[in-house]
Each structure stands twice: as structure tokens, then as C-alpha cells.
Amino acid sequence: EVQLVESGGGLVQAGGSLRLSCAASGFTFDDYAIGWFRQAPGKEREGVSCSSSSDGSTYYADSVKGRFTISSDNAKNTVYLQMKSLKPEDTAVYYCAAVGSCTVEAGTLVGRYLVVWGQGTLVTVSS
């Protein structure tokens, strides 16, 4: 069974912090790039951050650069997204995904060759 499970979402005031977790089963993160994506009401899904297994590079959308940090714990087969200085516009359902590759084009993060999505976790940032 190939599966990703997100956790750590919740309600936080603007300026606060949350850490999201993405736990893998049925495969190891070493085999893929792991990306975080989000979808807010009325908006298209957008890439947030990605960690590449091929070269260890990390990528961030311009909208979160300097505030969000992606990291991993290989022993737990888990990837984290540490979110700081949260803004109301960060409110969205956050999804992790195993992808073949990721890159940033004009400040937008793009993942390619999707393997599997997680179920999502809701982050709500109040004003």
C-alpha cells in the first residue's frame, strides 16, 4: 500500500506557527521528491515547498519563502513543513505529494510526475 498521511493542521492566529507532518507508508521518501501544496477556497491548488531526493535541494514558492521551512526525518519516513509568521492568506487545505521532480518557475513551485497525494490537513489563520 502506497500512502501519505498529513497531520498538524488547525486554527492559529496571524503571526503564529504550525508544523505539518507527512508520513509515508509503502515506500520511502528517499525514492522521490516530496512536495507540499495547498488549496484555498475559490483558488487553484498551488505549490508551497518541495524537497528533492535526487540532490537534496529544497524549493519554496515566493509567497512563503523566509517563513516556511521543509525538513525530513528519514528514520521516521516523515517530511515536515514548519510554518511561521502565518498570514490569513495562508488559510488552505495543505496536501503533501510524492512526485518525480519539482522546480520553481517565476516564483511558482511546480511538481511533475505525481505518484500519490495525501488526504490533506486544514490550516486556518485568523486575523
Q: What is the pLDDT of residues 29-59, one digit of tens each?
A: 777 899 999 999 999 999 999 998 777 789 9
pLDDT category of residue 21 using cuts at 50, 70 and 90: very high
pLDDT category of residue 104 using cuts at 50, 70 and 90: confident
* Most confident of the following: 14-18, 73-77, 112-116: 14-18
Q: What is the DSSP string of the chain?
A: --EEEEE--EEEETT--EEEEEEEESS-GGGSEEEEEEE-TTS--EEEEEE-TTT--EEE-TTTTTTEEEEEEGGGTEEEEEE-S--GGG-EEEEEEEEEEEEEETTEEEEEEEEEE---EEEEEE-
Higher pLDDT, 77 or 93: 93
Q: What is the pLDDT of residues 63-91, one digit of tens each?
A: 999 999 999 998 898 999 999 999 999 99
pLDDT category of residue 7 using cuts at 50, 70 and 90: very high
